[in-house]
Amino acid sequence: VIEPLDLPTRRERLGELAAPLYMNEHDVFTALLGDRSESLRCVVAHHIAERKLANMRPELARLQTLDDPPFVVDAFEQAIARLDA
């Protein structure tokens, strides 16, 4: 049985296992762009460009690395180009 708990109580009970709190959309997208999942990072980069979230451009540039697989590099470059257009 799962107890319905309010967020503060749930976080208290989970302790360090609780997911981090994000204060805004920018923080959520920044965390997702830095995720280990290459596919997730590509989807988030595309979503940022699609929604024209120009305030995320510095994060795309900062988190883009040439060590990533070509499809990730392409996704980040395309997102940056769409934001610059």
Of the candidates 73, 43, 46, 71, the one whose C-alpha atom is nearest the C-alpha of residue 61 is 73
d(CA 60, CA 66): 13
pLDDT at site 13: 84
pTM score: 0.74
The reported pLDDT for the residue numbered 25 is 86
Mean pLDDT by 10 residues, the chain (85 residues): 76 81 84 92 96 95 89 96 96
Q: Is 53:37 a contact under the CB 8 Å cutoff?
A: no
pLDDT at 28: 87
